[in-house]
Amino acid sequence: MGANPSNINLAKEFSLPPMKHAGSWTTLHSQGPTLVPVEQRYLRPKPAVTLRRYQHNLDRVEARATSFSEMQSYWSVPFHENSIIAGLTVSKIKHIVAAGHRLRAGDKHPSPIHTRAGLATESFTRTLGNTSLTTWHLLPQLLDFSSVAILYESGGKRVEVVDVKSFSALSMTLPFTIRSLHVAAVDKWLIQDSLGQKHLLSKRNPEDPCPNVLHSIADSSPSLGALTLCSLEPLESELLSQAIGQQMSSPHRILSSSQSYAALVVGFPDLDHSSNEIYLWPKEEHKLSSKHKSVFLRDFAQLTGSTGATTLHRHVSTYNDTMTTCRPHSISPSTQWLYSTVELPVLLAATSDQGLATVDASGCVRLWETGLENLEKSLMEWRKMIGSERDYLQLTVERPSGLDVNAPKHGKVDEKGDPHVGGNTWAGGTGGRDTAGLGGKGGPYRLDAGHKVHQVSQEEKDAVPEHVKRAAHDMAQRAFKQRLREIQMSEYDATLYSKFSDAVSRQVQALRVILGTLQAKAKERQWMKHQTSGELDDAKLIEGLTGERNIYRRRSDKEPELGAPQMKPKRLRLVIDVSGSMYRFNSYDGRLDREMEAVILVMEAFQGHEGRIQYDVIGHSGESSQITFISHDCPPSDNKQRLDTIKFVSEKYPRPFSCLQTMHAHAQFCLSGDNTLEATQEAITSLSKVECDEAIVVVLSDANLERYGIPPEQFARVLTSDPKVNAYAIFIGSLGDQASRLTSKLPSGRAFVCLDLKNIPQILQQIFAASVLNTR
């Protein structure tokens, strides 16, 4: 409700600064490694404690209900007011459940004030008492390959490698103070100390339980700054080449640091015996910061953080207003006290489909989509779901009736004219069965009593037994023949004819002016003289002896001169839709009335021009693709004959108006189905074989093709199937925006949408002016 296809609020995109070569890394093997002692101990877990479990029904909100942005959905996790959010992790599961990814947000209660325990958070450590405390950080990357997790002491020297399966831990104490530790490979870890010096911790033997051989790294890139992230896996070769601007296939890692949007270390960590070149995209001075954490999305070559994303292969950076402004509205007193002097944190984690999950200090979990490929796909699905531009919203509720059909019948006539929905008793009801009406199943023919229509599903209509369909069709044919006899017996009614004629009287005059200025377009094959190639012109022999080159002649098509007489008549075939949907939805948007006005326009405007332009009116429905209403060799010559063509009756009028239009009657009594493609193809094929000055086919339809599984591409191929015939389509009815969507997928200038009674003659004028008057 309220969605609009123009409500797209994606992040702002900026070009990255030019990539520059920042220096190189060299692992100092010549100085000899430092062997770090490893102490193993077994953990003694406490006995299992049964915790009280609470079940909450979370209210998941779809963020793309009314507008499209990177945010997909969000919900709030309920927890105690004295709790705080301590961490976020996403399970990498293979089977995605309907509720989404399994997200776990952990609560951690503050320690008593007089104890000297540290409160570990994502971004800082609060000091309790007079002692400066260190912070322990957890690196879970290796859990995807093994049962090992890494804990390191930022601001301290200790590293713990915990095996969660064997309940054992390996402890190391490094000879320097650790600022950050990053897993560059399973057997090689990158460490930065408090002075900014970098070190490589690797295994001596592949079977060693953890890396414990320490090498220093000589760094000639002072502009890199403090490291905040190192990717565990390299990019695909294609993405790497696009990011660096040249073909390259080499081991590498992506880094994020306080002084760069991203950095690329070529050769690291595999080629640690040679120099590793560093390329980076430097940050502007006012953006230097190491507070905001990032997540690496390998498939998109993207570093995504709480303020935006950096896409390396596209050399762009996005600033995400939505993510920045999604701050918690209310937080607990404990959280407010804990973060009283610093910015509230936003915890991030990558999801298994290269997306992003965040949780803020209030416990609001959000799912994001930042990859360009995924965003393009999701945007197409979102636009398809809500449709294109429209002024109204239609809600369709499908509910199976569960009732069987019996024998078709007309049904009882309700003298009061009350609406009837469902059932099989009354004539003129909707959504019922067996009786004449609209929107139901198993009835003999359509009957519009002027009420709101309830439509049964196409599946229920298709499930009607064949013997019931045959009986209904036979009854409809008998009623149709009876109505045709009534048409022949009816007298001429000028008032009824004027209802349609007066509506298009001005357009008739305008179209007659256009037809009166028709030009010949047929090309005539003639001898073209003064040519440089072809047959030798006998009259130019003397000129040829003197060196003249234009002494040849050849046969070619010559464009007719302006005002030249028309030697052959032009041909127009009007293909009209008289299928059941035209009658079914005529009370909804007047599509059948518009079609009859178009036929009146053609018949009156073309009168007197039969020698220059000849026309046919061919109908199609579910029963046939060739229903001839007017033939070019016998067009109606007066109002009585034209009225016999379009004359109709409505069950709402008493006997003086009981004259039924042939087109109107066929649409009421014909079988369901569609022959638009067949009728169009037959019209084009037949006109292409006729010797004429020009051939035009105009198709009037209600754009109801998708109901019968007809793709727009197939209709486009039919319209352009023969270059000798100019074919056009006018959609005079539409459910929702189906006509606009169909027109957008057809060749430009070949399709029009007309949902206003006054526009269809103007569109016909445009077609005639463009196709009949213009030369090829």
Per-residue pLDDT tens over the stretch 488-509: 544 445 566 677 777 777 777 7
Average pLDDT over residues 541-551: 74
DSSP-derived 3-state class of residue 202: strand
Domain match, 432 and 534 both: no
The CA distance from 197 to 135, in Å, is 20
Domain match, 593 and 545 both: no
Higher pLDDT, 375 or 487: 375
The CA distance from 190 to 207, in Å, is 20
- Sorted by sequence, the CB contacts under 8 Å of residue 776 that are 6+ apart come out as 521
Q: What is the pLDDT of residue 112?
A: 32
Q: What is the pLDDT of residue 718?
A: 93
Q: Please provide the average confidence, as pLDDT, over all residues in the chain.
A: 76
Higher pLDDT, 178 or 444: 178
DSSP string, 339-358: TSSSPPPEEEEE-TTS-EEE
Is residue 491 a part of any domain in this protein?
no
Q: Which tokens belong to 619?
A: 């109908």
DSSP string, 276-335: EEEEEEEPPGGG--S-S-EEEEGGGTEEEESSEEEETTTTEEEE-HHHHH---S---HHH
Is residue 452 a part of any domain in this protein?
yes
Per-residue pLDDT tens over the stretch 28-41: 988 888 999 999 99
The whole-model pTM stands at 0.48
The domain boundary, picked from 355, 382, 409, lies at 382
Number of domains in the chain: 4
Residue among 312, 322, 314 nearest 356 (CA): 322
Per-residue pLDDT tens over the stretch 727-749: 999 888 777 777 888 888 888 88
Per-residue pLDDT tens over the stretch 445-454: 777 776 777 7
Q: Which amino acid is at 269?
A: P
Is residue 341 a part of any domain in this protein?
yes
Domain match, 127 and 95 both: yes
Q: Which tokens belong to 323?
A: 């993510």
CB atoms under 10 Å from CB of 762, counted, come to 15
Length of the chain measured in residues = 776
Is residue 217 a part of any domain in this protein?
yes
Per-residue pLDDT tens over the stretch 631-651: 888 888 766 666 666 553 333
CATH number at residue 634: 3.40.50.410
Is residue 617 a part of any domain in this protein?
yes
Q: Using CA of residue 233, residue 234, residue 235, residue 238, what is the dihedral sign?
A: negative
Domain match, 345 and 406 both: no
Is residue 268 a part of any domain in this protein?
yes
The domain boundary, picked from 320, 347, 382, lies at 382
Q: What is the pLDDT of residue 648?
A: 39
The percentage of residues in the chain with a pLDDT greater than 70, rounded to a whole number, is 75
31-40, 195-204, 475-484, 710-719: segment of lowest average pLDDT: 475-484
Q: What is the pLDDT of residue 721?
A: 92
Domain match, 582 and 449 both: no
Average pLDDT over residues 303-321: 65
Q: Which DSSP letter does residue 502 get?
A: G
The domain boundary, picked from 337, 355, 382, lies at 382
Is residue 585 a part of any domain in this protein?
yes
Question: CA distances (Å), 85 to each of 19, 359, 470, 726, in order?
Answer: 38, 8, 69, 68
The CA distance from 744 to 444, in Å, is 37
Evaluate if residue 336 carries a pLDDT over 80. no
Q: List phi, psi (to 5°) of 580.
A: -65, -30
Higher pLDDT, 336 or 245: 245
* CB-neighbour burial class of residue 150 (10 A; exposed 0-12, middle 13-18, buried 19+): buried
Evaluate if residue 223 carries a pLDDT over 50. yes
Domain match, 440 and 359 both: no
Domain match, 178 and 324 both: yes
Is residue 38 a part of any domain in this protein?
yes
270-274, 693-697, 770-774: segment of lowest average pLDDT: 770-774
Residue among 69, 7, 8, 63 nearest 370 (CA): 69
Cβ atoms of residues 730 and 479 within 8 Å? no
Higher pLDDT, 306 or 212: 212
Domain that holds residue 325: 12-44+54-382
Q: What is the pLDDT of residue 103?
A: 39
Q: What is the pLDDT of residue 102?
A: 35
Domain match, 104 and 136 both: yes
The percentage of residues in the chain with a pLDDT greater than 90, rounded to a whole number, is 13
Average pLDDT over residues 135-144: 83
Per-residue pLDDT tens over the stretch 229-242: 899 888 888 888 88
Domain match, 227 and 346 both: yes
Evaluate if residue 124 carries a pLDDT over 60. no
Evaluate if residue 291 carries a pLDDT over 70. no
Domain match, 408 and 529 both: no
Domain match, 585 and 731 both: yes
Per-residue pLDDT tens over the stretch 347-400: 888 887 778 888 887 888 889 888 888 888 888 888 877 766 555 556 666 667
Q: Which tokens belong to 556?
A: 């070619």
Domain match, 447 and 312 both: no
